[in-house]
Amino acid sequence: MSDLDKVLAHIDADFDNALDRLFQTVRLKSISTDPAYAAETRACAEWHSKDLETIGFASEVRDTPGHPIVLAKNHEAEGTKVLFYGHYDVQPADPLELWEGDPFEPKIATLPDGSKEIRGRGASDDKGQMMTFIEACRAWKAVTGKLPIPITILLEGEEESGGANLPGFLDAARDELGADVAMICDTNMWDKETPAITTSLRGLCAEEIFIHGADRDLHSGFYGSAAANPNHILARIIADLRDADGRIQIPGFYEGVPEPSPELLAGWEKLDFSEAAFLGEVGLSIPAGEKGRSVLEQTWSRPTCEVNGMHGGYIGDGFKTVIPAVASAKISFRLVFDQDPHKIRAAFREFVKARVPADCRVEFKEFGSGRAVAFEVSAPAFQRTQQGMSDEWGKEAAFVGGGGSIPVTTMIKEKLGMDVVMAGFGLSDDRIHSPNEKYSLTSFHKGIRSWARVLAAL
Amino acid sequence: MSDLDKVLAHIDADFDNALDRLFQTVRLKSISTDPAYAAETRACAEWHSKDLETIGFASEVRDTPGHPIVLAKNHEAEGTKVLFYGHYDVQPADPLELWEGDPFEPKIATLPDGSKEIRGRGASDDKGQMMTFIEACRAWKAVTGKLPIPITILLEGEEESGGANLPGFLDAARDELGADVAMICDTNMWDKETPAITTSLRGLCAEEIFIHGADRDLHSGFYGSAAANPNHILARIIADLRDADGRIQIPGFYEGVPEPSPELLAGWEKLDFSEAAFLGEVGLSIPAGEKGRSVLEQTWSRPTCEVNGMHGGYIGDGFKTVIPAVASAKISFRLVFDQDPHKIRAAFREFVKARVPADCRVEFKEFGSGRAVAFEVSAPAFQRTQQGMSDEWGKEAAFVGGGGSIPVTTMIKEKLGMDVVMAGFGLSDDRIHSPNEKYSLTSFHKGIRSWARVLAAL
């Protein structure tokens, strides 16, 4: 029996204890956004730090101006050095009345189909997910007396409340955090049977624009046609943002946007993804956006431009024949690869200005911005993680893109200069941030076993 | 001394009494929109009816389902028969605290430049204006014992509250109301020194459209580009409504829109109108709309398309990266000459439908519609009215267009089949519908004298 087989057997035998440990941390109300739970949030950090010490980690609870960070190291082994990131804080549980039972008294629920799930706030996000990694470390330590590779674990306590103190911590602790690759367990599987590694996240550039025309609302009977109508100017700007093929027309917008690699495209093609089902679920049937690009390509590897809000003039009941003094729109761009949010913002502003008549003016309001991250899946850490996960689930782990943004991934890449393997066992129906959050018992069990294999493979 | 000279002299001599009569009617709170003033509104109708009897009119207060209508006839004379329309009801006076003095206790105020004005609710709109006509009749009767022409006077009591009962009254009293021409005194002078006859009013077609996409708001990180965004669809529709030269692109839109006649254009060119001043007053400087058309032409004789309101998605503080399920716009068209509002509405709907993707849908909500009216200024009644006014003011009365709509004019033209001469002595700063409404003392005095001359000329 190989070491790995012994470790896997240990995980199975010790599973009830693993569950018990997960329950212990779920019981701690580490609600980072609510100052009333500051002490309990710290208690949770301390619980995890002590727990990591029992696995042979040298662990500390490090203070920050906000909630503490747990930093634990076990570098007894040689080999690929891993920095693992998780967060021990959780979302508030309200509205409490929508929970079946106490959000902080975890329990196992059995569904009609016989499957089981762990219910409680943080059962998935991120206590359940991060404990899959920690339990895998524990099993290796228990069976072989040490971890198979050198590991540093960083557990944040402010992920759900803005993460204001993480950037400073990463800068200050840069030398302590050095590793070959970072790993995060805070993402989803492709589906219930197919594990997934998220290899890219899109960046963001959000901007609000205000088109000012006359210095007051005008009567359209008296001024119609003769006076510039900000609604028309705004509509023209928005319409001009794309051509008939859905391509965004801001000069330089696609700079730094390569075509996805053949490996990625090949992987996506293998996925069991139905555009009809994806759109059908929300009442649509025809993919919008760039012609000739699949929905997956568009949402994972292409930049977007979406008008998230638009307003001008009278929008109450009935009718008022006004020409409004101002019209505004909130517009956001999802960015990919090397697109520079600052360049895009500047180019967008020029694009808008060129379409505002000389006697009108435009005002800009800057909202968030961040670069996209994308990793080369041919790197060894990705290949080995994929191998470990595929072995466990009996199905090849998918390399998937992410349409949204996970700030810590960008931060680790930019500040610490390492790739980040985002591998997780959440499911899209885990109800994270919502009442009755759950984590599939299978996700927890096979998640632990997956990491045990990945650690071996690395 | 001619009869007319005697009448004008009488008007001057009797002016204090004319003012006193105007004050009497202004004191009556004929606020038609507020049921609390129903009795006082009727009292005002009765006051006018009795007053008209003193001038030899056979006058009646006719009940309607709402406020009564005063109908008075004096057909002793031969000649051009005139139907005069005025309205004795007024707007509410609130906010009362913004008035200098009691809105229903009229007074004469002297301005720093020595000019005087009559202050009070209805001083201009329409009690002051309609009394110029009635006082002219009174002077003719006093001096010559009869009116110079047959006159029917109709005074409405619901002009400020929707005018719901006027159409039915016009239909029912069609035979009694027959005349050669109708006259209304409810419009403005061109400027303080130049009287004006409004010869055209634009029609209206107002519509609200709702573009429905997905069956719920979507997260733009997950669905961006792939899912249709109603904001973009709406912006495209609005942008497509005009070409680069400002010409409206709805097929058939300009059907029934002739070029203005040479007489009209020549008259407009003589007007002391500054586009720079007109736009500069509201903070603009560049005429929008159709290229190659003057502001006057655009606002008086060209149809318009204006987006009066537009809304889609999140418009509160901050930012939400949603793709909204719906976006909407309130769009109105001002119509001229023979444009058919029903045809335009239908053509607009087709134009919109053609731009909505097959998996989205559009919903239409119909608001008001009405045809434009325009009169041939070469008709004798227009020429003679112009002559009378020009003689009084020592400056040629201008034939002007009106950008807005006066429903009663359209109604009289359509139901009674007669031309309507809109001649009035209001000024653009009369603050009608606002606190401190006023009517220039000169408007009242020279307005009476103008009508005395017009009645002679007819």
Q: What residues of chain A lie within 8 A of the CB of B310, using their CB? A: 231, 234-235, 310-313, 315, 327
Residue A212: its pLDDT value, please?
A: 98
**Residue A178 contacts B, CB cutoff 8 Å:** no
Put simply, the answer to whether A227 touches B404 (Cβ < 8 Å) is no
Task: Give domain status of residue B273, yes or no.
Answer: no
For residue B269, tell me if it sits in a domain: no
Q: Hey, what amino acid is at A375?
A: F
Q: How far apart are CA B305 and CA A447, in angstroms?
A: 61
Give contacts of A225 with chain B, Cβ < 8 Å: 246, 288-290, 298-299, 302, 304, 306
- Give dist(CA A226, CA A213) in Å, integer: 12
Q: Would you state the pLDDT for residue A178?
A: 95
Mean pLDDT value of segment A86-112? 93
Residue A166 lies in a domain: yes
Residue B318: is its pLDDT beyond 90? no
Going by pLDDT thresholds of 50, 70 and 90, the confidence category of residue A216 is: confident
Which residues of B fall within a CB distance of 8 Å from A241? 232
CATH number at residue A354: 3.30.70.360
Q: Are residues B165 and B182 in the same domain?
A: yes
The answer to whether the CB atoms of B334 and A235 lie below 8 A apart is no
Q: Is A317 on the interface with B (CB under 8 A)?
A: no
**How far is A313 from chain B, CA to nearest CA, in Å?**
4
* Number of independent structural domains in chain A: 2
For B113, the domain range is 3-201+375-457
Asked whether the beta carbons of residue B229 and residue A306 sit closer than 8 angstroms, the reply is yes
Does any domain span residue B270? no
**Residues present in chain A in total:** 458
Same-domain status, B186 and B225: no
pLDDT confidence bin for A394, thresholds 50/70/90: very high
Q: Does A231 touch chain B (CB under 8 A)?
A: yes
Share of chain A above pLDDT 90, in %: 79
Q: Please count the residue pairs, one from chain A and one from chain B, whose beta carbons lie less than 8 angstroms apart.
A: 279
Å between A191 CA and nearest CA of chain B: 16
CATH number at residue A420: 3.40.630.10
| A403 pLDDT higher than 80 | no
> Quick one: pLDDT at residue B367?
85
Domain final residue pick, A314, A349, A370: A370
Q: What is the pLDDT of residue B98?
A: 87
Measured CA angle at B36 (ends B63, B42), to 5 deg: 30
Q: How confident is the model at residue A287 (pLDDT cuts 50, 70, 90)?
A: very high
Instruction: Please check whether residues B339 and B208 belong to one and the same domain.
Output: yes
The residue type of B113 is: D
- In this structure, what are the phi and psi dihedrals at residue B307, rounded to the nearest 5 degrees? -85, 110
Beta strands (DSSP E) in B44-166 are: 58-62, 69-74, 82-87, 107-110, 116-119, 151-156
**Interface contact A231-B329, CB threshold 8 A:** yes
In this structure, is residue A266 part of a structural domain?
no
Contact predicate A39/A31, CB 8 Å: no
A189: closest CA of chain B, how far (Å): 16
Which pLDDT belongs to residue A319?
A: 79
Per-residue pLDDT, B65: 95
Are B401 and B308 part of one and the same domain? no
Residue B227: its chain A contacts at CB < 8 A?
279, 282, 284, 288
Q: Report the alpha-carbon distance of residue B80 to residue B150 in Å, rounded.
A: 7
pLDDT in tens, A217-251: 888 888 888 999 999 999 999 999 999 999 999 99
Are residue B40 and residue B90 in the same domain, yes or no?
A: yes
DSSP letter for each residue of A364-415: EEEEEEE--EE--TTSHHHHHHHHHHHHHHTSPPEEEEESS--HHHHHIIII
Q: Tell whether the model's pLDDT for residue A9 goes beyond 80.
A: yes
For residue A300, what pLDDT is reported? 83
- Rounded mean pLDDT of A124-135? 97
Q: Is the pLDDT reported for residue B265 higher than 90?
A: no
State yes or no: pLDDT of A86 exceeds 90: yes
Q: What is the pLDDT, as a whole number, of residue B441?
A: 98
Q: Give the distance from residue A103's alpha carbon to the nearest chain B alpha carbon, in angstroms.
A: 26
- The tens digit of pLDDT for each residue in B272-311 reads 889 999 999 889 999 999 999 999 888 888 999 999 999 9
Q: How far is B203 from chain A (nearest CA, A)?
A: 10
Task: Please tell me the predicted confidence (pLDDT) of residue A210.
Answer: 98
Q: Above 80 in pLDDT, residue B240?
A: yes
| Chain B residue numbers touching A311 (CB-CB < 8 A) | 310-311, 315
- Inform me whether the pLDDT recorded for B107 exceeds 90: yes
Q: Which carries the bigger pLDDT value, residue A67 or residue A300?
A: A67
The dihedral built from the CA positions of residue A416, A418, A423 and A427, taken in this order, carries a sign that is positive
- Look at residue A273 and tell me if it is in a domain: no
Domain co-membership, B181 together with B208 = no
Place of tokens 């949770």: A44
Other CB atoms within 10 A of residue B262 CB: 8
B residues 241-260 near A, CB within 8 Å? 241-242, 246
**Section A73-78 average pLDDT:** 96
Q: Which of residues 191-220 of B touch A (CB under 8 A)?
A: 202, 204, 206, 208, 213-216, 218-220
For chain B, say whether A349 makes contact (Cβ under 8 Å). no
Percent composition of chain A: helix, strand, coil (DSSP 3-state, to 5) = 35, 25, 40
Chain B positions touching A208 (Cβ under 8 A) are 319
Q: Which residues contact A183 (CB under 8 A, 6 or more apart)?
A: A82, A83, A84, A85, A133, A385, A420, A421, A422, A423
Residue B349 reports pLDDT greater than 90: yes
Whether B309 has its CB under 8 Å from any CB of chain A: the answer is yes
The reported pLDDT for the residue numbered B260 is 81
- Examine the domain organization and report whether B142 and B251 are in the same domain: no
Are A432 and A160 in contact, with CB atoms under 8 Å apart? no
Give the residue-averaged pLDDT of B318-327: 88
The alpha-carbon gap from A326 to the nearest alpha carbon of chain B, in Å, equals: 11
pLDDT band at B201 (very low <50, low <70, confident <90, very high): confident
User: Contacts of residue A328 in chain B, CB cutoff 8 Å?
Assistant: 315
Kindly state whether residue A271 falls inside one of the protein's structural domains.
no
What average pLDDT does this structure show over B13-39?
96
Q: What is residue B452's DSSP assignment? A: H
Lowest-confidence range among A24-28, A139-143, B33-37, B234-238?
B33-37
Distance spanning both ends of chain B, measured CA to CA: 19
Same domain flag for A27 and A78: yes
Is B222 in Cβ contact with A299 (below 8 Å)? yes
Query: Of the residues B370, B388, B411, which one is the last residue of a structural domain?
Result: B370
Is it the case that residue B403 has pLDDT exceeding 80? no
Q: Do A106 and A11 reside in the same domain of the chain?
A: yes
Residues B335 and B317 both lie in one domain = yes
Which of A215, A301, A310, A355 to probe the B interface (max B CBs under 10 A)? A310
Read off the pLDDT of each residue in A288-298 and give the average, rounded to a whole number. 91
Looking at chain B, the number of H-run helices and the number of E-run strands are 15, 18
Arithmetic mean of pLDDT over chain B: 94
- Residue B162's pLDDT is what? 77
Average pLDDT over residues A278-287: 92
Q: What is the mean pLDDT of chain A?
A: 94
For the segment B160-191, what is each residue's pLDDT rounded down to a tens digit? 887 889 999 999 999 999 999 999 999 999 99
- Tell me if B45 is assigned to some domain: yes
Q: Does one domain contain both A241 and A326? A: yes
With CA atoms as reference, the chain A residue closest to B286 would be A359
Last residue of a domain, one of A370, A388, A403: A370
Query: Looking at the predicted structure, is the pLDDT value of residue A420 above 80?
Result: yes
Which of A72-76, A408-412, B245-249, B267-271 is predicted least confidently?
B267-271
Q: Which residue has the tokens 């009635």?
A: B134
The residue assigned the tokens 């206790």 is B105
Spatial separation of the C-alpha atoms in residues A339 and A117, rounded to whole Å: 41
Residue A335 has a pLDDT of 92
Q: Given B226, B283, B306, which is nearest A287 (Cβ)?
A: B226
**Burial track B265-280 (b if 16+ CB lie within 10 A, e otherwise):** eebbeeeebebeebbe
Instruction: Report the pLDDT value the prediction gives residue B333, as an integer from 0 to 100.
Output: 95
Chain A hits for B240, Cβ within 8 Å: 239
Choice between A306 and A320, residue whose per-residue pLDDT is larger: A306
Residues B40 and B163 in one domain: yes
pLDDT digits (tens, 9 = 90+) for A159-191: 988 788 999 999 999 999 999 999 999 999 999
Residue A368 has pLDDT above 80, yes or no: no
User: Do B85 and B182 meet the contact criterion of CB atoms below 8 Å apart?
Assistant: yes
